[in-house]
Each structure stands twice: as structure tokens, then as C-alpha cells.
């Protein structure tokens, strides 16, 4: 009885990885930085000279904004123009010690130019930032509660539905002075 070759042959992760990376206009160096995988390892994977571990495959899939199954798939498919990222797949930066959670809503390939986040601040929580690159501007729209924005010596309370626009290239802080959780959309545009 002949074995089914599709069940005994490992998936060609490298072919799909290269296809997805190139479709997003990313270099090996870009993807290396985004996924935390060495450039030489990525090159070996793309040339099918190395098989990535599940952990590396997950990091690559997350960086590319696809499910892990998309990298393991040997089926050629048309790339759908609509990419939906489920809530559980959105990268999150927990600032538990400071009372905030930052969900990275923007695609990783735009990091460094256009970034957007969902910021959740616990009562008394704060996101304190050092200056970003010169010309960076931040735009904060409050979706729930209120947020105090501090830049330099200036402080303003931003209420539900309002938007604050301020320079992100100086030290700045976002605080929740209220007694309930605050939530906001934070857009960072780098000059």
C-alpha cells in the first residue's frame, strides 16, 4: 500500500514564510527584528535548510499577522485582501506593575511610522514614556472613563469621547485619575 506523501512530508514552511514576508514588503532583517528570530535562521528556514520549532513558527506567524496554520499550510491559496486578526491574536504589552495594558492594534510592519494601540488604565495606573523620535505626535481618544495627559509642565484631563493631540518627542505620561478603569485609542505618528 502506497503512503500518502502529503501526510509523511513535512510542510514547506520556508516557501510560505518567504511568500508572506515578500507580500508584506519586509526584508529578512525587518522580519528578524519583528519576530526576534536571527536573520541567518530566517534565511535557512526560507531555503528549507532548517525546520523551525513550534515556538519560532508561532513568533513568525504573530509577526506576520497570520495564524500558525497559514505557515504550516502546503496549500497554495489566494491571499484574501481582508485580513482579520482575532482578539486573542493581538499582541499585548502588559504593564501590570504600572497599571496599564497596551494592545498593539496596528500591523507590525508599520511600527516606527504609524502605530495604534488600545490602552487600558487601571484606577491610578499610568503609562510613562520617554521621548520618541523627533517629530513624533501622539493622538489619544478616550473611549471609557477619563485620562490625564502630561507633557512637559502641562497637564490636561481628557474626558470620554475627547481627543488630545500632543508631542511624543518629549517625556510624557498618560494617567487614570479616576476610580474606574479608563480605555483609550492611542495613535502614534512618527515624523
Adjacent-strand bridge partners of 2: none
Q: What is the pLDDT of residues 37-50, one digit of tens each?
A: 999 999 898 888 88
Average pLDDT over residues 24-38: 87
* CA-based nearest residue to 17, from 53, 54, 55, 68: 68
101-112: buried (b, 16+ CB within 10 Å) or exposed (e) per residue? bbbeeebbbeee
- With contact defined as beta carbons under 8 Å apart, do 127 and 100 qualify? yes
The domain 5-72: what is its CATH number?
1.10.260.40
pLDDT value of position 8: 54
Instruction: Write out pLDDT tens, residues 54-87.
Output: 888 888 888 888 888 777 765 444 556 777 778 8
Regarding the domain with residue range 87-189, which homologous superfamily does it belong to in the CATH classification?
A: Jelly Rolls (2.60.120.10)
Is the model's pLDDT at 4 over the cut of 60?
A: no
Q: What is the pLDDT of residue 140?
A: 98
Q: What is the C-alpha to C-alpha distance for residues 105 and 90, in angstroms, rounded to an integer?
A: 7
Round the average pLDDT of the chain to a whole number and report it. 85
Domain with CATH 1.10.260.40 in the chain: 5-72
Closest by CA position to 160, among listed 143, 174, 138: 143
- Give the β-pairing of 126-129 and 100-104: unpaired
Task: Give the CA-trace dihedral at 148, 150, 154, 159, to 10 degrees.
Answer: -20
Q: 154-158 and 147-151: which strand pairing?
A: antiparallel
Query: Which has the closest alpha carbon to 138: 168, 107, 112, 162?
Result: 168
Q: Classify burial at 122, counting beta carbons within 10 Å of its beta carbon; exposed 0-12, middle 13-18, buried 19 or more.
A: middle
How high is the pLDDT of residue 185? 98
Determine the longest span between alpha carbons in the chain, in angstroms.
78
Q: Where does the chain hold its CATH 2.60.120.10 domain(s)?
A: 87-189
- Whether the Cβ atoms of residue 181 and residue 145 lie closer than 8 Å to each other: yes
Q: pLDDT tens, 100-138?
A: 999 988 887 777 788 999 999 999 999 999 999 999 999
Give the cell for residue 66. Answer: 497570520
pTM above 0.85, yes or no: no
Q: What is the pLDDT of residue 11?
A: 65
Amino acid at each position: 500500500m502506497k503512503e500518502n506523501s502529503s501526510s509523511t512530508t513535512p510542510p514547506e514552511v520556508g516557501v510560505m514564510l518567504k511568500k508572506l514576508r515578500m507580500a508584506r514588503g519586509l526584508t529578512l532583517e525587518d522580519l528578524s527584528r519583528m519576530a526576534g528570530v536571527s536573520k541567518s535562521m530566517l534565511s535557512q528556514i526560507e531555503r528549507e535548510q532548517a525546520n523551525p520549532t513550534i515556538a519560532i513558527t508561532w513568533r513568525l506567524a504573530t509577526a506576520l499577522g497570520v495564524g500558525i496554520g497559514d505557515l504550516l499550510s502546503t496549500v497554495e491559496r489566494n491571499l484574501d485582501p481582508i485580513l482579520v486578526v482575532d482578539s486573542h491574536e493581538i499582541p499585548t504589552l502588559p504593564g501590570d506593575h504600572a497599571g496599564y495594558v497596551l494592545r498593539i492594534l496596528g500591523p507590525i510592519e508599520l511600527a516606527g511610522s504609524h502605530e495604534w494601540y488600545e490602552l487600558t488604565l487601571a484606577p491610578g495606573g499610568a503609562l510613562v514614556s520617554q521621548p520618541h523620535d523627533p517629530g513624533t505626535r501622539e493622538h489619544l481618544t478616550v473611549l471609557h472613563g477619563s485620562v490625564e495627559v502630561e507633557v512637559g509642565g502641562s497637564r490636561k484631563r481628557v474626558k470620554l469621547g475627547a481627543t488630545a493631540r500632543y508631542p511624543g518627542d518629549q517625556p510624557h505620561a498618560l494617567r487614570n485619575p479616576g476610580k474606574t478603569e479608563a480605555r483609550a485609542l492611542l495613535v502614534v505618528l512618527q515624523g
